[in-house]
Chains A and B, each alone.
Chain A
């Protein structure tokens, strides 16, 4: 048996699973302290379905703690950003485009030093150990507790980042955490560097949270290993979380999508999650969310780590309906739905009122919407269906048909059939889908680097990269016999000589739970 827990901003879901079978599921409001919520969730699971601590082979946790800490600019460590690349990049130093409140919250200091590479791996300038030691002394003097190191073209060669980390560690001692950009992001210096700085600022909190989670689980007599969900839905162990907390950032929407897919028995589908204000649409390909190809802004900071591609449109249960145009949203009454909607005795015509008038749901008092013109009701629902279908169509990358799964309280707004896509799947047991998503026991390894491919060496080189990704998956805890390459991408970089090619490989396998 294993346990999946998803700690969201509003709710904490937990499930007890036997393989892919859900034995018990519980849902609570999220508590301000992590530990309390986890303890209560496990106790409740035990009340629903008795188990011994030793019956549990793994505990998987999805949490929004880290992204919330950044968004709220709270509990971030004093962080320095060191960039290797002088004399290049001088005009735009680290932290250049950060919102002031966040630079302030991390007491951010930025440093430029010599080093870095050209696109083809030639050094821009040699590392200057003296310069680095001087920077380290300044960091020390300013109470810096975490450092992010970036280097120009480190996805091509990361040697100088590693060497600079060694020199800084000598000066700063073992208590200062160091994060390296080549382990976090991809090509695009500012975006990769930003993601690395965010990671660095969260390192202390990561240790605190991991300790708290571990203590909470151990207190329940469970000795099994603890894993956290990553952005792509695979798991990382606690040591990895301490090093790369930023990898948990998008686990909320990812777990929701993966849970929706699993509970509807689909692995490739579009998931439409309709809440109170927005409908969020994502795509799952072979069980994994399609990731964005572009930069993503997190708390106003431009980054390029891999996040699930989610399109939000302003249609939800609380969306305000214009009776003249039959247009819906983007304004919404939000959480005031239960006082402002007509069915609850309020005076605002909302999308929920329309769904009730159409007989799609029985919420509040249907008599209060009986006066609505049936042709208006039909027009509004048609418009919602049209816009959702259009958004799903926008998300898919080709005209291939794809099944649509609808979840969330606002999914009553959707018809049973969607034009272009056919029947809409509505999974049962969805209430705890996030926890089910978190409990899917897979681990992965990913390589994303730029290689200069020598003539005649392409096949051999790509085989090496694939093997490297598979090894990484095994190192993360995958059963070797189950590891497969789930994603492979080879993109020549335009305008560059020497066959510079960006290669991206992702290997995934089942978590070895020793059973």
Chain B
């Protein structure tokens, strides 16, 4: 369990987040630099577990919204990262006490670290998904009736907006328009929760998990051990395929990096379907795993996670499947993040290849 995050932890954390990010989240470089810079200026970030957070805490998530291409050009400033939190605190009339990650993976696992450092607030060892998904409302708190609104957004110029909307769809629609006007890269803060709500709705231990995975991969490489096998062990998942990427087909028509990759394993072929994240893995007509369980592509030898936009012909890869948080396997959750929501006519399958048994999952929830 981690108690603080320092500059030296960022690389491990970002790599672990890229594993749990299941191909999404983009290049974590800028986010990592930003977090490191904020820690250098303001000191290490204190990490608090969900068990420790007081019931009456005021928890907000912080994330980036917009085009990753813009963020690598118009780099953010720290003021921009802290502004939506200040904006929301003013609107709510109460000081914010804790920051949380909405997802793990790419830039949105490091931006909250930068925010927590710059605000001098503790960061929860938790996140809203335990993985990454492409849309704002695709977080577990949604299942507990917690909405993104009121949502604050800010640009580098000092403009801050606070939205109070009727539902998440409206939040997304209005925020997107403002985002384009503000230069296509804004920082957002929302999903207001009390401490007790966050304890109930968030995935516990995410940051510790990221760092453990990142460290595990680095250690395995040092020991010349199998970094992929180490990752499988840490995730409690299984390796479903190994082979060479022989075809990557992309279409960006829908706004998401949607596509399909074929991996040749000699005797069998695996097809991966993705929309920012890997969503479905099937081999020769058999479904091996689907969203919301984790489908992860790692470089064959080094275990380096490969993002969906980083997939190229000729890469030697190994594909893992691992369980996602149990709450993702309820009827309501599957309607929000199951294969059908993303437009694939597939019944959802668990990481071990078995069809989802919703009744059992419902019983757990």
Measured CB to CB, the closest approach of chain B to A489, in angstroms, equals: 15
CB-based contact A495/B68 at 8 Å: yes
CB-based contact A189/B75 at 8 Å: yes
Name the contact of A495 in the complex, choosing from B29, B77, B184 (C-beta under 8 A).
B184
With A and B bound together, what is the CA distance between A396 and B246 in angstroms?
Answer: 11
CB-based contact B74/A394 at 8 Å: no
B215 in contact (CB, < 8 A)? no
B67 in contact (CB, < 8 A)? yes
Measured CB to CB, the closest approach of chain B to A261, in angstroms, equals: 21
Binds A, one of B8-16, B86-94, B310-318: B310-318
With A and B bound together, what is the CA distance between A66 and B69 in angstroms?
Answer: 31
- The secondary-structure label for the interface of chain A is loop
Contacts of B140 in A (CB 8 A): none
Name the contact of B184 in the complex, choosing from A87, A88, A118, A394 (C-beta under 8 A).
A118
B138 in contact (CB, < 8 A)? no
Contacts of B252 in A (CB 8 A): 492, 494
Contacts of B316 in A (CB 8 A): 390, 394
With A and B bound together, what is the CA distance between A119 and B73 in angstroms?
Answer: 9
Contacts of A153 in B (CB 8 A): 73-74
Measured CB to CB, the closest approach of chain B to A166, in angstroms, equals: 23
A92 and B246 in contact, given A397-B312, A494-B252 (Cβ under 8 angstroms): no
B358 in contact (CB, < 8 A)? no
Contacts of A395 in B (CB 8 A): 314
A1 in contact (CB, < 8 A)? no
Residue of B nearest to A156 (CB): B73
With A and B bound together, what is the CA distance between A251 and B165 in angstroms?
Answer: 57
Measured CB to CB, the closest approach of chain B to A209, in angstroms, equals: 33
CB-based contact B79/A496 at 8 Å: no
Contacts of B255 in A (CB 8 A): 494-495
A137 in contact (CB, < 8 A)? no
B257 in contact (CB, < 8 A)? yes
Measured CB to CB, the closest approach of chain A to B44, in angstroms, equals: 17
With A and B bound together, what is the CA distance between A356 and B55 in angstroms?
Answer: 74
With A and B bound together, what is the CA distance between A15 and B191 in angstroms?
Answer: 69
Q: Mark A390-401, 1 if CB is under 8 A from B, else 0.
A: 100111111100
CB-based contact B184/A119 at 8 Å: yes
A167 in contact (CB, < 8 A)? no
CB-based contact A92/B30 at 8 Å: yes
Contacts of A295 in B (CB 8 A): 29
Contacts of A190 in B (CB 8 A): 30, 33, 72, 75
Interface footprint category on A: 35 or more
CB-based contact B74/A116 at 8 Å: yes
Q: Mark B13-32, 1 if CB is under 8 A from A, else 0.
A: 00000000000000001100
With A and B bound together, what is the CA distance between A227 and B73 in angstroms?
Answer: 34
CB-based contact A152/B37 at 8 Å: no
Residue of A nearest to B66 (CB): A495
Residue of B nearest to A500 (CB): B69
CB-based contact A188/B180 at 8 Å: no
Measured CB to CB, the closest approach of chain B to A94, in angstroms, equals: 11
Residue of A nearest to B71 (CB): A189
B156 in contact (CB, < 8 A)? yes
Which residues of chain B from 163 to 221 have any CB-CB distance to chain A below 8 Å in the complex? 180, 183-184
Q: Mark A88-129, 1 if CB is under 8 A from B, else 0.
A: 111110001100000000000000000010110010110000
Which residues of chain A from 388 to 417 have any CB-CB distance to chain B below 8 Å in the complex? 390, 393-399
Residue of A nearest to B38 (CB): A91
Name the contact of B37 in the complex, choosing from A96, A124, A189, A393 (C-beta under 8 A).
A96
Measured CB to CB, the closest approach of chain A to B308, in angstroms, equals: 12
With A and B bound together, what is the CA distance between A495 and B256 in angstroms?
Answer: 8
B157 in contact (CB, < 8 A)? yes
Residue of A nearest to B182 (CB): A118
CB-based contact A89/B77 at 8 Å: yes
With A and B bound together, what is the CA distance between A328 and B72 in angstroms?
Answer: 40
B76 in contact (CB, < 8 A)? yes
With A and B bound together, what is the CA distance between A153 and B30 in angstroms?
Answer: 16
Measured CB to CB, the closest approach of chain B to A163, in angstroms, equals: 19
With A and B bound together, what is the CA distance between A125 and B183 in angstroms?
Answer: 12
CB-based contact B67/A189 at 8 Å: no
Name the contact of B75 in the complex, choosing from A91, A125, A397 (C-beta under 8 A).
A91
B158 in contact (CB, < 8 A)? yes
Q: Mark A174-200, 1 if CB is under 8 A from B, else 0.
A: 000000000000011110000000000
Given known contacts A88-B80, A495-B67, what 6 new A-B pairs fall within 8 Å (CB)? A119-B183, A124-B156, A152-B73, A153-B74, A494-B257, A496-B70
6 residue pairs A–B, Cβ–Cβ below 8 Å: A87-B156, A87-B157, A91-B77, A119-B73, A189-B72, A495-B255
Residues of B at the A interface (CB closer than 8 Å) are 29-30, 33-34, 37-38, 66-70, 72-81, 114, 156-158, 180, 183-184, 244, 246, 252, 255, 257, 312-316
Interface pairs A-B: 8 shortest CB-CB = A495-B67, A90-B77, A88-B156, A394-B314, A89-B75, A118-B183, A91-B78, A494-B252
